[in-house]
Amino acid sequence: MKTLIVFLLITIGANFKSNAQIHLCEDPCPPGNKLWKTITLCSVAGYITYDGNGNQVGPLVVPTVFVEIAYRIRTCNGVTTIIIEDYVFVDNRDYLITVDPFFGPAIASTPCGYPNPPTTNSIDLAIANAISLLLNDYGNPAQGSIDVIFKGSCNSSVSLNFPDSSFFTSAPDDAGKIDTFFVGSGSHVSMVIPCDDVCCKVSYNWQMVTLNNGETLSKWVPISSEGDIEGCESASLPDYYTSSQQLKFKKYDPTTGLYTTVSGSVVGQESCKLICPRILSPPPLEITSSLKSDLSISNRSIELTASPVPFNNFIKIDSNREILKIAFYDLHGKLVLKERKLDEGQINTSNLDNGIYFLQVYFTDNIVKTIKIVKQ
């Protein structure tokens, strides 16, 4: 049985909002339907899996640290804005070890750029990184910038505990994939409840950054924010148990053969804090980036080539890493071609006009690389 996890945003009246902050919540154009996406920050290789014909299709990759984000897409006059409605952080490393001893050595030998157990700072950093990764699917590098609106500019973080074998099922991603995640007493689950009903905005630019190992990476970087409010820290704490925002997980009861709904119990709650400053300047940790961590890829550089240069009706993409998908953008930032499966590394570009394009290549480990190519 699969049920979609639904995050409902409650609004709590506040007396410290301004017209500018209220303006950020207004929708000049109707936003799209609510979407959900699971952003995997760390994972571990699990058991080998096989298809119905006995062919190996694994090993199964199990997310260990991830963020589930609820959001909407708003497009006005050709400008896209991401509206974040809710998010939940999950660190399942301790829980997986208790479920099956197999995961103990696997997790220990698979570096992850987040401390275990997670801290307030590491959770804030994970959320900031997850938002940047979400933008990879919607921001056009050629356009250069994109804005993100956060519903509830002031919120309180709540840590939750769930019974073993509780689970939720993610909404289908853009490839139609649905994932079911189990949590239990060893899971670290954290979510936010708004302390106000106003909004804030973070603006992102597409920039090239240099990692500790000297490798360069293009990614969405937050550069400014607006909509901060005064008096956030003194706002009244929202009550998780009486809010309509409670998480709705499921648990199977073998004695009755039925599924029951569980919403977890609060094991900790922090005072209200502004969200946009934490996204703009996430707390420093010893790691520099979980978008492409030196640790998670064992300092292995990515090799990426596109040939011939310039190309004509076909272009061949080669890399030493697994490629998940490829997108072509024109100089105006418009997505003109998107491919998920490569035929021996080749892409048919016969429908593209001659000109300059940005080729965006998505890899495992949440890595995205962009190169400029020319068709003639």
Same domain, 219 and 330: no
Higher pLDDT, 343 or 115: 115
Same domain, 172 and 247: yes
Same domain, 236 and 333: no
Answer yes or no: are the C-beta atoms of 302 and 320 closer than 8 Å.
yes
At 2 the pLDDT is 33
Please confirm whether the linkage preceding 284 is cis (ω < 30° from 0): no
pLDDT at 259 over 60: yes
Higher pLDDT, 302 or 117: 117
pLDDT at 136 over 90: no
At 270 the pLDDT is 93
d(CA 201, CA 295): 31
Closest CA to 322 of 299, 347, 357, 297: 297
Rg of the chain in Å (alpha carbons): 22
pLDDT at 307 over 50: yes
d(CA 72, CA 35): 6
The residue with tokens 């940005």 is 358
Domain range for 175:
19-280
Strand pairing class (145-151; 79-91): parallel
At 224 the pLDDT is 92
Same domain, 161 and 58: yes
At 217 the pLDDT is 67
pLDDT tens, residue by residue, 49-107:
555 565 655 556 788 999 999 899 998 888 889 999 989 999 999 998 888 777 778 78
pLDDT at 131 over 90: yes
Same domain, 310 and 266: no
pLDDT at 9 over 50: no
d(CA 66, CA 225): 25
Look at phi and psi of residue 40 and say left if phi exceeds 0, alpha if psi is from -120 to 50, else beta. beta
Q: Cα angle at 317 between 142 and 59, to 5 degrees?
A: 105
| Domain end position, chosen among 280, 313, 338 | 280
Higher pLDDT, 171 or 248: 248
d(CA 72, CA 74): 7
Higher pLDDT, 59 or 39: 39
Same domain, 327 and 215: no
Q: How many domains does the chain have?
A: 2
pLDDT at 226 over 60: yes
Residue 123 is assigned to a structural domain of this protein? yes
- C-alpha torsion 44→126→168→11, nearest 10: 180
Query: Residue 38: beta bridge partners?
Result: 68
Same domain, 132 and 227: yes
At 297 the pLDDT is 42
At 28 the pLDDT is 79
Higher pLDDT, 189 or 54: 189
Phi/psi of residue 33, each to 5°? Answer: -65, 155
pTM here is: 0.71
Highest mean pLDDT among 160-174, 261-275, 311-325: 261-275
Phi/psi of residue 52, each to 5°? Answer: -65, -20
Residue 298 is assigned to a structural domain of this protein? no
Same domain, 93 and 208: yes
Same domain, 275 and 345: no
Higher pLDDT, 334 or 52: 334
pLDDT at 109 over 70: yes
Q: Cα angle at 54 between 49 and 59, to 5 degrees?
A: 20
At 234 the pLDDT is 86
At 214 the pLDDT is 57
CATH assignment of the domain containing 371: 2.60.40.1930
Same domain, 261 and 309: no
Residue 287 is assigned to a structural domain of this protein? no
Percent of the chain beyond pLDDT 90?
A: 21
Higher pLDDT, 338 or 82: 82
At 147 the pLDDT is 93
Same domain, 41 and 167: yes
pLDDT at 140 over 90: no
3-state secondary structure of 95: helix
Cβ neighbours around 109 below 10 Å, total: 9
pLDDT at 212 over 90: no
pLDDT at 353 over 70: yes
